[in-house]
Amino acid sequence: MTAAGTPIAVVTGASSGIGAATARALAAAGYRVVLTARRKDRIEALAAEINEAGHQATAYPLDVTDRAAVDEFATAFRTIGVLVNNAGGALGADPVATGDPEDWRQMYETNVIGTLNVTQALLPALEASGDGTVVILSSTAGHATYEGGGGYVAAKNGARVLAETLRLEIVGRPVRVVEIAPGMVKTEEFATTRFRGDAEKAAKVYAGVAEPLSADDVAETITWAVTRPSHVNIDLLVVRPRAQASNTKIHREP
């Protein structure tokens, strides 16, 4: 708790998409949000926007894969109420036979090691709050595979297992571990990053889908999960658009 008693929520990958929307939503729910991401300009602008709206936010540029930087960041906090591990993403959609090992490595670094770094570093402060919550954004890709899912599916399975294992290991301590697994979410960057700026390929992901989830839909889900009473642990919440029955069964309008 801060001097004023406002619980802190740290959000990684807060520069865009689900992370930015979650920062806004948790700030509106009464948390003092700490926005982290590599892109300083973006998180500073978002923190300013949140503060102008009468809520509380600060920006802290951070690469979650840089363990020394993460450890330095962690020294700033005595107690933290919520950590949302959102930083991550996909690179490529190649078959296993031809996928680039460097893409696989990078996805493991950001989605798994990044989450591990921040969670390990902030766990003492989460526990010190007496009522901490760790949220791990996995994906439906962490629960079922699909052709071309490759390294992303493997990495998100890693994130899921991290959440499940941590929950087992810290039971009895005052920290909840919540896994949120979104399906198709249309954000400004996810698919474009995956296809390295190829707008046409990125657009195909959502082609004909009347209403993919928005970043706000997922942010509301996260906010709901973390604002349940302390004894209620949402182990896993899978959230998809109505048009998506599975990773591969998607209703597309002609």
Chain contacts with ligand 8X3 (rule: CB under 6 A):
139-141, 152, 183-184, 247
CB of 173 vs ligand 8X3, minimal distance in Å? 29
Least distance CB 149 / ligand 8X3 (angstroms): 6
- Which of 6, 192 has the CB closer to ligand 8X3? 192
Q: Where are the alpha helices (DSSP H) in 75-198?
A: 101-108, 114-128, 150-169, 190-194
Residue closer to ligand 8X3, measured from CB, 56 or 138: 138
Query: Burial level of 193, CB count in 10 A (0-12/13-18/19+)?
Result: middle
Residue 152 catalytic?
yes
* Nearer to ligand 8X3 (CB atom), residue 78 or residue 252: 252
Cα separation values, 73 from 15, 33, 119, 125, 176, Å = 17, 14, 12, 12, 22
Are 72 and 46 in contact by the 8 Å Cβ rule? The answer is no
Q: Name the minimum Å distance from CB 215 to ligand 8X3.
A: 12
Catalytic entry in 60, 146, 152, 206:
152
Helix axes 17-28, 40-52, angle to 10 degrees: 30
Which one, 36 or 140, has the nearer CB to ligand 8X3? 140
> Least CB distance from residue 209 to ligand 8X3, whole Å?
11
**Token pair of 230 as six digits:** 């302390």
Residues acting as catalytic residues? 152
